[in-house]
Amino acid sequence: MPKPVILQRQTVARSRLFRAEELQLEFSNGERRTYEKLCSGGPGAVLMVPMLDDSTVLMAREYAGGLEDYHLSLPKGAIDAGESPEQAANRELKEEVGYGAKSIQLLKQVHLSPSYMEHKINILLMRDLYPEVLPGDEPEPIEVVPCKLDDLFQLVMRDDVIEGRTIAALYLAQHWMTQHSS
């Protein structure tokens, strides 16, 4: 299907963190619609699946502003200018979890809600961990929680595991490791 033509594009709202654009679209059948989307600035983000051993993943209990509560998710962070996803993931892991990784595998880049957001995040499997701490900018220390992948369904169905991309990343990592184990 040929893509709709973007007849017009303008910024309709802006805050310190967010910028929203309005798109005037004409679909290939002549239908016109006005869509809004949230633009992402910067080079993107990384989400890490840090494996302490073959069956133990390190998760983080952290306060989430959108939720106004704590929840359990995989550690993540923004890519700084000039960093590769792998470099950003290793730096963020040292800042948030206190480990570096000797083996880093980019599994997939996923989008949050492509219908109205540009934002995407790189999912990286981090293995062969070694202790190394870098100072971060968190308001309070992140509680690191080792979790077993043996019963993944039980883990992802926990009431405090509520992030879609964390669930996707845990399954992708487990699936990838199954396919690549000798």
Contact string 148-167 vs its own copies (x = CB under 8 A): ----xx--xx----xxxx-x
* Residue 41 in the binding site for its own copies (CB under 8 A): no
Residue 83 phi/psi, 5-degree rounding, is -85, 145
Closest CA to 169 of 113, 107, 120, 114: 107
Segment contacting its own copies by CB under 8 A, of 35-43, 81-89, 90-98, 125-133? 35-43
* DSSP state, residue 4: P
Instruction: List the structure tokens of 112.
Output: 């949050």
- 65: its two tokens: 């502003």
**Residue 52 or 107: which CB sits closer to its own copies?**
107
> Under a CB-based contact definition with an 8 Å cutoff, are residues 149 and 174 in contact?
yes
Site residue total, its own copies (CB under 8 A): 69
Q: Does residue 177 belong to the site contacting its own copies (CB under 8 A)?
A: no
Separation between Cα atoms, residue 78 and residue 80, nearest integer Å:
6
The phi, psi pair for 131, rounded to 5°, reads -65, 125
Q: Does 16 bind its own copies (CB under 8 A)?
A: yes
Q: Scanning residues 53 to 82, which ones bind its own copies (CB under 8 A)?
A: 61-71, 73
Positions touching its own copies (CB under 8 A) are: 1, 3-4, 6, 12-18, 20, 22-23, 25, 27-29, 31-33, 35-38, 61-71, 73, 108-121, 139-140, 143, 152-153, 156-157, 162-165, 167-168, 171-172, 175-176, 179
